[in-house]
Amino acid sequence: MSSCEFTHFDEQGNAVMVDVTDKPVTERMAQAEGTIHVSPEVIEAIRGHRVKKGDVLTVAQVAGIMGTKKTSELIPMSHLLNLTGSGVTFTIQDEDSSIHAVCTAKTAGRTGVEMEALTGVTAALLTIYDMCKAIDRRMCITDVHLVEKHGGRSGDFYYADNPAPRDAPPCPAPGISHECYSGADRIASVYSCPGMQTL
């Protein structure tokens, strides 16, 4: 498959949900992580249960699990999956005043749960922001990415073995570039590939 071939487009360039009918049912697992950088005051308020909206990490944990279950309603071409497991964990890191989140999603099905794990960790981090923004609106969510995935035709994936390049070219502004391009063998941004219909 070339860098400009995507499964969510048909031959006419129309957006489609991938048909997974003929795929076998297998055990699937995906884990994603991300970090929110906060002020020391936020860390102290979370630890001391002094945030007015409630227990921040408990609420964010529930939000992350809910996010995994609602993924198909947020990501247009993702499939509605029957999850068999979902969980979120947090680690407070005092050295850089941040909170690291990890979301794990599992299913037995015909397609993977990468998007569920990514949506879950993002929802968890956004919830931390929402609950603590009265203390600090400068909080910054960073490095949300897939850590690993197992099952399915493509096999196992480990981010540690395939880290994203940090020197990838910036995404072009809409209307500036209408070609596929890659940075370090990956697609950095696509606005319209050759042969695809432009909306």
First CA to last CA distance, the chain: 23
Strand order in the sheet with 140-150: 83-93, 98-109, 26-37, 140-150, 157-158
**What's the CA gap between 137 and 180, in Å, rounded?**
36
Element (H, E) at 92: strand 83-93
Whole-angstrom Cα distance, residue 122 to residue 193?
28
Distance, in Å, from the CA atom of 150 to the CA atom of 146, rounded to the nearest integer, reads 11
Is 130 an annotated catalytic residue? yes
Tokens describing residue 198: 């432009």
In angstroms, the CA 83 to CA 27 distance is 11
Annotated catalytic residue: which of 19, 94, 130, 156? 130
Q: Which active-site residues does the annotation give?
A: 130
